[in-house]
């Protein structure tokens, strides 16, 4: 087990500097254009693939970093460049995490490489969980998967929404209900391979921020997938459902499992638990970018014969911004280290990291606009875009209100659903 550290090693620093260079030289110059176009920045994704950033190998190296700092460090640097483009580059990772969290070794080896394609034929993947009537309330999920035993196929019907890369992805990972009576315990995840009949893109959303990232509905109309596309396999699913039914018959919550109620997982929660600290790192990257713009502006902008940073009102804002960013990063790093070293989130440390970092990003980007004044309110400076982008962190993969609920239930010793 790696010891927790706040110091990157030489290899991590080298990767960080490489990512920072790509973010500065490739992502930032393209940010305003793709924000205005509201389209997937395929040329930038392809550039990322050419240098090895958009690849299974790169994310595997960061994911299996024993310190746990590889993924948050990478997310911070890329989102420092631009949140919309960075999400287009890393959005496939959520689907990949869904497979890693729930799939067998064979499924991981088969499907994750197909999610990325190669530098000459770049692909993206989508993770589909939220629905029009089931976002934070995953137990209300209506998408159904019914097993056709005669053909060893699962038949999936439903509508997913807010899916990053939804409809344009090759591989879709879909969370569906297989036993409605069990609520969220009756969910399972499925691979929908490229070109599967019955899957179609619905509405594409025009968004307030992260506009270079494609977000859309996914319609599933009698989508048939082989039995081998059930992540984890049917035997494992049947065992899990049987345990859930026995608990339901016994009534009540029963005895907490090893590791406490915070260790209970379902198909969607397993993915979100693994990804929430990474979302926190994205928020840190956006907050840091806005802070640096504001700091540079405050040092060079003169009013009343001196730089505005000499005014205590501005200097104190910058001091608070830097303090909050560093605190958010430390919470993200702690949660990431705990996750990779198998430490249970007994106080919902993953949710803590996302909650604090996402709220920090909204606050810091708003302060950056205030420091730039009228300039900050225009598109001539990037902080207005960063502020628009930052709003998503308090919404996707669990709103700030849901994070607080998760933390509160964990502290109270109640199960997380």
**What φ, ψ does residue 316 adopt, rounded to 5°?**
-65, -35
Cα 57 off chain centre by? 19
* 136/143 Cα distance (integer angstroms): 15
Closest C-alpha among 46, 2, 102 to residue 343: 2
Residues identified as active-site = 397
Integer CA distances (angstroms), 28 to 14, 71, 86, 297, in order: 20, 20, 10, 18
The length of the chain, given as a count of residues: 417
Question: What string of H, E and C letters represents the secondary structure of 323-389?
Answer: HHHHHHHHHHHHHHHHHHCCCCCCCCHHHHHHHHHHHHHHHHHHHHHHHHHHHHHCCCCCHHHHHHH
Closest C-alpha among 401, 391, 406, 316 to residue 360: 391
* 128/142 Cα distance (integer angstroms): 13
Q: Output the six-digit token pair for 412.
A: 């109270």
């Amino acid at each position: 087990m790696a010891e927790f550290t706040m110091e990157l090693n030489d290899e991590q620093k080298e990767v960080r500097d490489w990512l920072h260079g790509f973010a500065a030289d490739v992502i930032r110059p393209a940010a305003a254009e793709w924000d205005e176009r509201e389209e997937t920045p395929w040329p930038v994704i392809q550039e990322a693939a050419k240098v090895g950033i958009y690849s299974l190998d790169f994310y595997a190296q960061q994911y299996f970093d024993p310190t746990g700092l590889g993924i948050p460090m990478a997310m911070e640097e890329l989102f420092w460049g631009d949140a919309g483009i960075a999400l287009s580059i890393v959005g496939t990772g959520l689907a990949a995490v869904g497979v890693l969290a729930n799939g067998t070794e064979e499924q991981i080896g088969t499907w994750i490489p197909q999610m990325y394609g190669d530098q000459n034929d770049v692909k993206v993947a989508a993770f589909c969980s939220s629905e029009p009537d089931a976002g934070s309330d995953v137990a209300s999920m209506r998408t159904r998967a019914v097993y056709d035993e005669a053909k060893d196929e699962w038949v999936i019907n439903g509508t997913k929404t807010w899916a990053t890369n939804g409809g344009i992805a090759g591989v879709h990972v879909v969370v569906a209900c297989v036993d409605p009576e069990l609520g969220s315990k009756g969910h399972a995840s499925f691979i929908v391979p490229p070109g599967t009949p019955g899957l179609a893109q619905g509405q594409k959303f025009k968004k307030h921020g992260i506009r270079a990232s494609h977000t859309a509905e996914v319609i599933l109309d009698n989508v048939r997938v082989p039995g081998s596309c059930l992540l984890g396999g049917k035997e494992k699913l049947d065992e899990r459902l049987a345990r859930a039914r026995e608990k339901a018959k016994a009534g009540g919550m029963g005895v907490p499992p090893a590791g406490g109620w915070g260790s209970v997982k379902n198909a969607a929660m397993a993915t979100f638990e693994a990804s929430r600290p990474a979302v926190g790192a994205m928020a840190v990257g956006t907050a840091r970018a806005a802070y640096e713009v504001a700091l540079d502006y405050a040092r060079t902008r003169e009013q009343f014969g001196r730089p505005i940073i000499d005014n205590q009102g501005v200097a104190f804002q910058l001091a608070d911004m830097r303090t909050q960013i560093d605190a958010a990063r430390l919470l993200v790093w702690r949660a990431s280290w705990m996750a990779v070293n198998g430490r249970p989130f007994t106080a919902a440390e993953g949710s803590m990291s996302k909650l604090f970092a996402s709220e920090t990003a909204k606050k810091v980007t708003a302060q950056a606009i205030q420091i730039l004044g009228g300039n900050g309110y225009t598109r001539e400076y990037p902080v207005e875009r960063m502020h628009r982008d930052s709003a998503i962190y308090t919404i996707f993969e669990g709103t700030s209100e849901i994070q607080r609920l998760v933390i509160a239930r964990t502290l109270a010793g109640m199960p997380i659903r």
